[in-house]
């Protein structure tokens, strides 16, 4: 047989082999078609996330411009929105009436859910009621623990401020404080008032409230300095936010006294101040959780009918006490802006 004949014979054998292999493949697909359909049905995403279109959630707070505490809350909210494929619409205004207007704007925009702070519950009541009458679920967070149920909110995520204040007062007793001032940076904010009231209840020494304009740090520093100069017996300055604690450090230095600083809330700079002993104590209410949980809870409620706390109990995110002894475990997260 010549080379040409052998080549033709080889090609015929190869073609036959390919045809046979193709037949086996077809037969295999045909015999497995029922199983493939079952696998497809089993693999189909039946989670709540797959069953709804993209949701729109409005988060409306009483945050003042420049307050870094709310940056942490927004990071938590954005993380939840990204995870749940939610469109997050964030807005804020420290003026309670204007915050209520923002709630009404969200209602008019027909959002799927609203997460709101109730720093001034009376001013927010009508707008919250309008949302509920419009069929929009509302959850509360951060401020309004004493009013969320009476206003018909589904859930609340935050700290029991009065209990946190009571625990804070006991901590100051343990630190040997005899006379402190509790610096309230936002007059009329029920959460801040509760913190100082709780502190006063358990603190064995003398405590008094000092009201400052939290939107003007120069005036905050001046007010604290003036109080320390007026009464050198003050041994602790208690602030209700990390930026105000760091400002109080300057006030103590300016007044030339020996008062120590303790505060509610923390951030990256505050954790460093606790590490170096400039600030003795901080309360962490975990604002990242306060941003994350309301968004995720509304998604769960709308997509699967879930709600936390049975509609009768809040979900507490604090207080956790941060001192020099344990701050290092928190500092690495604060450096990322999430604590």
Write the pLDDT tens digit of every residue in 268-295.
999 999 999 999 999 999 999 999 999 9
| Residue 255, pLDDT above cutoff 50 | yes
Among residues 127, 154, 152, 157, the alpha carbon closest in space to that of 142 is found at 157
Write the pLDDT tens digit of every residue in 44-59.
444 555 445 789 999 9
User: What's the rounded mean pLDDT across residues 144-150?
Assistant: 96
CA distance 185 to 169: 19
Contact in structure between 198 and 171 (CB atoms under 8 Å):
no
| Residue 27, pLDDT above cutoff 70 | no
Percent of the chain with pLDDT strictly greater than 70: 85
Token duo for residue 105: 């704007």
Contact in structure between 92 and 63 (CB atoms under 8 Å):
yes
Specify the 3-state DSSP secondary structure of 86.
Answer: strand
| Residue 335, pLDDT above cutoff 80 | yes
Percent of the chain with pLDDT strictly greater than 90: 78
User: What's the rounded mean pLDDT across residues 328-335?
Assistant: 91
Domains of the chain (ranges plus CATH)? 52-159+287-317 (3.40.50.2300), 161-284 (3.40.50.2300)
């Amino acid at each position: 047989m010549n080379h040409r004949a052998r080549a033709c014979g080889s090609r015929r054998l190869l073609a036959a082999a390919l045809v046979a292999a193709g037949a086996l493949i077809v037969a295999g697909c045909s015999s497995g078609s029922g199983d493939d359909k079952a696998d497809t049905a089993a693999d189909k995403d039946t989670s709540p996330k797959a069953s709804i279109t993209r949701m729109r959630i409005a988060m409306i707070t009483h945050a003042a411009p420049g307050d870094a505490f709310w940056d942490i809350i927004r990071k938590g909210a954005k993380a939840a929105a990204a995870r749940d494929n939610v469109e997050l619409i964030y807005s804020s205004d420290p003026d309670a009436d204007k915050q209520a207007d923002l709630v009404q704007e969200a209602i008019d925009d027909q959002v799927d859910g609203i997460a709101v702070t109730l720093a001034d519950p009376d001013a927010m009541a009508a707008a919250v009621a309008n949302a509920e009458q419009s069929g929009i679920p509302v959850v509360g967070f951060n401020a309004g623990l004493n009013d969320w149920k009476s206003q018909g909110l589904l859930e609340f995520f935050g700290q029991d401020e009065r209990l946190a204040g009571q625990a804070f007062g006991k901590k100051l007793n343990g630190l040997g404080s005899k006379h402190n001032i509790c610096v309230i940076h936002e007059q009329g904010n029920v959460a801040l008032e509760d913190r100082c009231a709780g502190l006063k209840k358990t603190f064995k020494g003398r405590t008094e409230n000092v009201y400052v304009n939290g939107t003007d740090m120069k005036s905050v520093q001046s007010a604290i300095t003036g109080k320390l100069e007026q009464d050198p017996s003050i041994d602790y300055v208690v602030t209700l936010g990390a930026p105000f604690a760091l400002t109080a450090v300057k006030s103590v230095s300016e007044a030339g006294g020996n008062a120590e600083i303790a505060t509610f809330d923390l951030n990256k700079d505050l954790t460093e101040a606790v590490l170096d002993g400039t600030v003795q104590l901080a309360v962490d209410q975990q604002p990242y959780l306060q941003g994350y949980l309301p968004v995720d809870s509304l998604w769960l409620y709308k997509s699967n009918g879930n709600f936390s706390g049975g509609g009768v109990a809040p979900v507490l995110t604090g207080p956790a006490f941060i001192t020099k002894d344990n701050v290092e475990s928190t500092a690495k997260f604060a450096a990322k802006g999430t604590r």
